[in-house]
Chain A
Amino acid sequence: MIIVYVLVAVMLVASIAAYLFKDLVNAVIAAGLMSLMTSILFYFLQAPDVAMAEAAVGAALVPAIFIIAIKRTGRYEE
């Protein structure tokens, strides 16, 4: 059960980092890491269906779409 606490700790750190980063690409990577940890957590909580959807959408598609959006707008937050 210790791995669940490690995952939750990484999720907390990653989400706070995503909030604090001024470089939005770094923030997107941190949010993607949060999604990946969420997906592993779903797997350990015996919800493999949700884990697959979370890994494919949250850790692959959403960061890519965000990065394309950042490329079209601005990279740094004031």
Chain B
Amino acid sequence: MRRIIGIVLLAIVVLGITLSLAEIPFGTPKTHVGDYYVNEGVKETGAVNIVTSVVLNYRGFDTLGEITVLFIATIGLGALLKTHKERKKKRDVTPASLVLSTGCRFLFPLLIVFAIYIIFHGHLSPGGGFQGGAIIASAFLLTYLGCNRARANERRYKLIESSGGLVFVIVGVLGLIFGGYFLLNFLPKGTPFSLFSAGIIPIIYIAIGLKVGSELVSVIDNMVGESV
């Protein structure tokens, strides 16, 4: 009996979803906000990369929320795994071969430079703080895996992470002071396509890049711990 009721309910749900989805014309623009961003975005924000102008200017508060979510996840992981770190068991590790460790040492600065490029050009080309931060973290991951016992300084990455978040919020509050809106782009826009343009967007992206990078490094550091 329960199975029949279940099948009937499932059929009703499937029918309802099918009928409601059949009515939606997918792909046709329903709102005009997208056109507005594409046409007016460069003029209003100074950022040539439309995605950046939406992420950091029109929807900047949402980005602050995303940063906070990642921050909370990192804190949770750290709190969970910190207890393991207390009892240090140093297992014998086979040292990385010369080719591997030299390759890591060679690639690490290149990856960091690439990440800095991605972060600094977030308002000009695809990329930005999140992507650059992830690349920084993968560079550190490479050294954790390849170089023997190379570890990030815990105090330093915590400091960088906190100051990144602080810069984001302070820039937002400065917008509130100067223009009356949180995260208002109060700095001069500059000429489009130049490195120093788009007002507060590069500053916030540098803060986000440092914050995301150090958060992901702390995730890796907490997970690897001392035991590997």
Chain A residues within 8 Å of chain B by Cβ, number: 15
| Chain A contacts for B141, CB-based, 8 A | 60-61, 64
How many pairs of residues, A versus B, come closer than 8 Å at their CB atoms? 45
- CB within 8 Å of A: which residues of B? 49, 51, 118, 126-128, 130-131, 134-135, 137-138, 141, 145, 216, 219-220, 223-224, 227-228
**Roughly how many angstroms separate A69 CA and B126 CA in the complex, as a whole number?**
32
A36-78 contact mask (Cβ, 8 Å, vs B): 1 or 0? 0000000000001101110011001100110011011000000
**Roughly how many angstroms separate A63 CA and B138 CA in the complex, as a whole number?**
11
- Min Cβ gap A46→B in Å is 10
* Interchain CB contact (< 8 A) of B224 among A48, A60, A61, A68: A68
| Chain B contacts for A68, CB-based, 8 A | 220, 223-224, 228
Q: Is the CB of B134 within 8 A of A61?
A: yes
- Min Cβ gap A61→B in Å is 6
* Interchain CB contact (< 8 A) of B126 among A49, A65, A72: A49
- CB within 8 Å of B: which residues of A? 48-49, 51-53, 56-57, 60-61, 64-65, 68-69, 71-72
